[in-house]
Structure 1
Amino acid sequence: MRLSVSIDWIMTTKENLRRFGPGISISAVVAVAASFLSEHYRAPVMLFALLLGMAVNFLSDEGTCKPGIEFTAREVLRVGVALLGIRISFAQISALGWEPIILVMVSVLITILVSILAARVLGFKAIFGMLTGGATAICGASAALALSAALPSDPRKEQATLFTVIGISALSTIAMIAYPMIVQTMQLDPVQAGMFLGGTIHDVAQVVGAGYSMSTKTGDTATVIKLMRVAMLLPVILCTALFTRSRGAGEGGKRPPLFPWFGIGFLVFAAINSIGWIAAPIQNAGNEMSRWCLVIAISALGMKTHLKDILTVGFRPVALMVGETVFLACLVLFSLRHL
Structure 2
Amino acid sequence: MSPTVAATHARTLMPGLLIVASVAMAAQFIADHYGAPVMLMAILLGIPLQFLSEDPKTAPGIHFAARVLLRVGVALLGLRISFDMVAAIGWTQVAILTAGVAATILLSVAIAPLVGKDRLFGFLTGGSVAICGASAALAISSILPKSPERDQNLSFTVISVTVLSTVAMILYPILANTLGLDPQQAGIFMGGTIHDVAQVVGAGYSISEETGDVSTVVKLFRVTLLAPVVFIGALILRKHQSNGADRPPLLPLFILAFLILAALNSYDLVPTPVTDAANVISRASLVVAVAAVGMKTSLEQLRFVGPAPMIMIASQTVFIGLFVLAGLFL
TM range (shorter): over 0.9
Paired residue secondary structure (1:213): helix
Number of the residue aligned with 2:310? 318
Question: What are the Cα deviations for residues 48-98 of structure 1, in whole angstroms up to 9, with x where unaligned?
Answer: 111111121111112310111111111111111111111101111112221
Paired residue secondary structure (1:312): helix
The one-letter amino acid paired with 2:89 is: L
Question: Unpaired runs of 5+ in structure 1?
Answer: 1-7
* Residue 249 of structure 1: how far off its partner (Å): 5.1
Taking the aligned partners of 2:109 and 2:248, their CA distance within structure 1 comes to 20
Question: What are the Cα deviations for residues 226-260 of structure 1, in whole angstroms up to 9, with x where unaligned?
Answer: 0110000000010111121122159x932111111
For 1:1-339, what aligned pairs fall within 5 Å after superposition?
9-248=2-241, 253-338=245-330
The one-letter amino acid paired with 2:308 is: R
Residue range with higher mean Cα deviation, 316-325 or 11-20? 11-20
Paired residue secondary structure (1:150): coil
* Residue 300 of structure 1: how far off its partner (Å): 0.9
Taking the aligned partners of 1:29 and 1:77, their CA distance within structure 2 comes to 17
Question: What are the Cα deviations for residues 94-133 of structure 1, in whole angstroms up to 9, with x where unaligned?
Answer: 1222111111111100111011111122231111111100
Question: Unpaired runs of 5+ in structure 2?
Answer: none
Paired residue secondary structure (2:89): coil
The one-letter amino acid paired with 1:64 is: K
The one-letter amino acid paired with 1:269 is: L
Report the RMSD for the aligned CA atoms in angstroms. Answer: 1.3
TM-score by length of 1: 0.95
The one-letter amino acid paired with 1:325 is: T
* Residue 152 of structure 1: how far off its partner (Å): 2.2
* Residue 41 of structure 1: how far off its partner (Å): 1.4
Question: What are the Cα deviations for residues 168-221 of structure 1, in whole angstroms up to 9, with x where unaligned?
Answer: 000000000000111011001110010000000000011011101101111111
Taking the aligned partners of 2:257 and 2:9, their CA distance within structure 1 comes to 24
* Residue 317 of structure 1: how far off its partner (Å): 0.6
Question: What are the Cα deviations for residues 251-305 of structure 1, in whole angstroms up to 9, with x where unaligned?
Answer: x932111111111011011011101011222111111101111111111111111
Taking the aligned partners of 1:249 and 1:81, their CA distance within structure 2 comes to 28
Taking the aligned partners of 1:214 and 1:80, their CA distance within structure 2 comes to 30
How many residues end up aligned between the 2 structures? 330
Paired residue secondary structure (1:153): coil
Percent identical pairs in the alignment equals 49
Taking the aligned partners of 2:80 and 2:209, their CA distance within structure 1 comes to 20
TM-score by length of 2: 0.97
Taking the aligned partners of 1:31 and 1:178, their CA distance within structure 2 comes to 28
